[in-house]
Amino acid sequence: MTTATVTKEIKNKNSSKENTTTKEFTKVDRRDAKLALAHIYVAFIALLLGGLAGLLQVFVRSGQFTLPAGINYYQILTVHGVLLGLILTTYFILGFQTAAISRTSGPLSNKQRTIGWVGFWIMTIGTAAAAIMVLLNEASVLYTFYAPLQAHWIYYLGLALVVVGSWTVSLSQGLRYIQWRKENKGKTSPLLSFMVVVNNLMWFVCTLGVAAEVLFQLLPWSLGLVERVDVLLSRTLFWYFGHALVYFWLLPAYMIWYTVLPKIIGAKIFSDSLARLAFMLFLLFSIPVGVHHQLTEPGIDGFWKFLQVVLTFFVVVPSLLTAFSMFATFEMRGRELGGKGLFGWFKKLPWKDSRFLLPFIGMVAFIPGGAGGIVNASYQMNELIHNTIWVTGHFHLTVATTVVLTYFGAAFWLIPHLTGRVLTKKMNDLAVTSGIMWTVGMFIMSSAMHIAGLLGAPRRSEYSTYGGSEQAAEWIPYQIAQAVGGTILFITILLIIGIVINLIWFAPKGEEEFPLAELAHGAEKTPAILENFKLWGVILVALILIAYTFPIFDIINNSPLGSTGYKFW
Amino acid sequence: MHIHKYEKWWLTFGAAMLIAFLVIVGVSAFHGGTHPNNSKWTINYEKVDEIAPFDNPGVHKVEGKDWDYEVVLVASAFSYNPMEIEIPVGSKVRFIATTKDVIHGFEVAGTNINFMLEPGYVSEKITTVDKVGEYVIVCNEYCGTGHAMMYSTLKVVDADDNSNSH
């Protein structure tokens, strides 16, 4: 980073020479904005295409519609899962985080920015390669790609490149944070930058599992270099990654809740220390918990399953911390604005501001979402809902409501901030409408999924009457309800894409704020231990070793004959 | 690090709930024996048809065991063998199942008889069938194009009806 760059971009700040220690950054550097925007463009293209795939799925499952000749339901399902679960999320997160780092730690150096672009292109080449294989129907193995269903090796390679690219982009963000720490010895780092680094660290450690699965198992096997693959080991490596993946989606939403929302409502950050503590706890309890996705599988001992269930539930602590901080912030601000009585403060919140409303709806959705998650992870209770469409209903509340509504709410100020335009009142009103429509559509779809799942309807299955089964007939009205909800959601996606297009190319030029709350006056200094990555890293590694060493040793030791590949689609 | 008084109460309440909850789940599993499928039984998945008990899939009445019936089931893309299982209500049943190819699911819809079938492993579940009815058994893990066509039926019948038919 050169001083010249900083002073050019931050016109309203002092233009002092070398000393950046006291500098407050209020805007994302224009060149960093381009890097962030590139990611966000891909994310919204993925939203449109992945949403279309979702629409086709709910239509098929209603029993009223069949796909045109040659298109396989599970091909569409793979498109939906990969584009929305992996591409939309990863690109949005990395774009948002690049902007967040540039806004809070300062502009990236040319070298850091180049690393970011290299990562973006590695991810994008990987995405294109995987997409081609899916379109050719060579990879209808869904986004979880469970062996021994065997996709074309280019599909696995493409997804591996997405992961490697994401590491590279994360590296550019991490280097900027390290630079800040060096330039500001002894000071507490900007909260948002710290959160970005925690999320990236978690991402790096968890993706090692899926990278090992792809590089050492699936690629050699799909290339024909080895004949057989250890199926249970591959699944265990996948889920070592798979649960942290959902926290990787969630933590950027938490970043927005903790650091952006207070500013939008005119409040301060409730507690810097508690926010950092919550993030560190997420880091610790994100990875040594993956076996809770494998509770009904053979080959893993009950003791180790239960241990990981216990570790899973520790996530309750940072979740409760966050819930408290958020609602304390809202209530204190509401009262400051004159809200009286037990709930009077509630009316004082800016309900007509899409930047607040969408993330707020997301938070509310996290209450039933979290409750459902407790059922899923509850050892024996998992047997009732495992692989039923209840699970699909669950994560459409968590990732597809809590997380994405927060992302959308952020996109509506972030995109114009990056493009040098403004969110007009008209666009804001449309954005509010989109939030309400999403809520209605998702309420219908997700509720129907939860109920049908309790009745036994399986997930990841096309329309079937199961030989005229009476039970299966009971599921069909709920599948029609899912199609109604899904249609509303797709229309909402079109509206959101319209708003995004406006914010990229057509909105009036101007300066849209990147809202970022300050610490409350007189706040205590954050204990340095919270920023001691070595300490937390050691605890993380220790927990992972405790939770995984024995089960993996056991899986390898007891492994049956490995599996050859199958292409059953 | 300052923590607000109400926040302390909130976290204490949360932590207490968490511990109580985990104790209930843990006692139920380790004392009550309500573990999900944890079988360590391995098998050569390419020779399932030749290996007992899978050389004779079906419902078998057994004597001198902790359960009354053994249901031996083989899954393969895209069917179950047997296609129909009939058991008198109130029987204690041990389900023993495996797959000959890819991963499949075994879910008796609307019940907690639900586990994964993975190549090389035998999955097990011991339970009492206590409600008369016809239950559809579905594959709930994606296994290929015919995944949603893969089903079997569990008929839990009145004990009297069953004795009449035999």
String of DSSP letters for B3-30: --HHHHHHHHHHHHHHHHHHHHHHHHHH
Tokens 């704020």 label which residue?
A: A513
Cβ–Cβ gap A471/B136 under 8 Å: yes
What's the pLDDT at A15?
39
Closest alpha carbon to B159 in B64, B68, B97: B68
Hey, of A383, A384, A555, A559, which one would you mutate to test binding to chain B, going by the most B CBs within 10 A of its CB? Answer: A383
Yes or no: say if A200 and A170 are a contact pair by the CB < 8 Å rule.
Answer: yes
pLDDT in tens, A430-476: 999 999 999 999 999 999 999 999 999 999 999 999 999 999 999 99
Q: Which CATH architecture has domain B45-165?
A: Sandwich (2.60)
Sequence ranges of the domains in chain B: 1-35, 45-165
Q: Name the token pair of A7.
A: 């002073």
Closest alpha carbon to A514 in A402, A401, A405, A420: A420
What's the pLDDT at B1?
66
What is the torsional sign of CA A395, A400, A401, A403? positive
CA distances from A28 to A37, A319, A480 (A): 11, 30, 45
CATH classification at residue A220? 1.20.210.10
Q: Tell me the one-letter amino acid at A410.
A: A
- CA A350/CA A369 separation, integer angstroms: 24
- CA A536/CA A529 separation, integer angstroms: 9
Digit-by-digit pLDDT tens for chain A (569 residues) are 344 444 444 444 443 333 444 467 889 999 999 999 999 999 999 999 999 999 999 999 999 899 987 789 999 999 999 999 999 999 999 999 999 999 999 999 999 999 999 999 999 999 999 999 999 999 999 999 999 999 999 999 999 999 999 999 999 999 999 999 999 998 999 999 999 999 999 999 999 999 999 999 999 999 999 999 999 999 999 999 999 999 999 999 999 999 999 999 999 998 899 999 999 999 999 999 999 999 999 999 999 999 999 999 999 999 999 999 999 999 999 999 998 888 899 999 999 999 999 999 999 999 999 999 999 999 999 999 999 999 999 999 999 999 999 999 999 999 999 999 999 999 999 999 999 999 999 999 999 999 999 999 999 999 999 999 999 999 999 999 999 999 999 999 999 999 999 999 999 999 999 999 998 877 778 888 999 999 999 999 999 999 999 999 999 999 999 999 999 99
Structural domain boundaries enclosing A256: 27-460+469-521+534-557
- CA A393/CA A372 separation, integer angstroms: 9
All residues of chain B having their beta carbon less than 8 Å from the beta carbon of residue A77 are 142
Cβ–Cβ gap B109/A384 under 8 Å: no
A·B CB contacts under 8 A: 231
Who contacts B155 (Cβ-Cβ below 8 Å, separation ≥6)?
B84, B85, B86, B87, B133, B134, B135
Q: Tell me the one-letter amino acid at B23.
A: V
User: Does the pLDDT at position B162 exceed 70?
Assistant: no
What's the pLDDT at B166?
41
Q: Phi and psi for B143 in degrees, rounded to 5?
A: -130, 0
Residue A267: inside a domain:
yes
Distance, first Cα to last Cα, chain B: 74
All residues of chain A having their beta carbon less than 8 Å from the beta carbon of residue B22 are 309-310, 313
CA B5 to chain A, closest CA, distance in angstroms equals: 12
What's the pLDDT at B7?
86
Q: Name the token pair of A74.
A: 């599970």
- CA A128/CA A87 separation, integer angstroms: 11
Helical packing angle, A231-255 and A272-284, nearest 10°: 170
CA distances from A234 to A221, A313, B75 (A): 12, 24, 21
Residue A10: inside a domain:
no
pLDDT in tens, B66-76: 999 999 999 99
- CA A190/CA A187 separation, integer angstroms: 9
Instruction: Give me the number of domains chain A comprises.
Output: 1
Residue A562: inside a domain:
no
What's the pLDDT at A95?
98
- CA A342/CA A299 separation, integer angstroms: 53
What's the pLDDT at A23?
61
| Cα of A313 vs its chain's centroid, Å | 19
Who contacts A167 (Cβ-Cβ below 8 Å, separation ≥6)?
A119, A203, A204, A207
pTM score of the predicted model = 0.94
CA distances from A360 to A96, A240, A258, A500, A535 (A): 19, 30, 12, 20, 34
pLDDT in tens, A499-518: 999 999 999 999 999 999 99
- CA A113/CA A115 separation, integer angstroms: 5
Pairing of strands B84-88, B151-157: parallel
What's the pLDDT at A20?
41
Hey, of A62, A297, A531, A550, which one would you mutate to test binding to chain B, going by the most B CBs within 10 A of its CB? Answer: A297
Q: Tell me the one-letter amino acid at A16.
A: S
Give alpha helix (H) positions in A378-506: 382-385, 389-397, 404-419, 425-454, 470-501
Model confidence at B160, pLDDT cuts 50, 70, 90, reads: low
Residue A1: inside a domain:
no
Residue A276 annotated to the active site: no
Q: Name the token pair of B121.
A: 């492993």
Model confidence at B108, pLDDT cuts 50, 70, 90, reads: very high
All residues of chain B having their beta carbon less than 8 Å from the beta carbon of residue A142 are 142
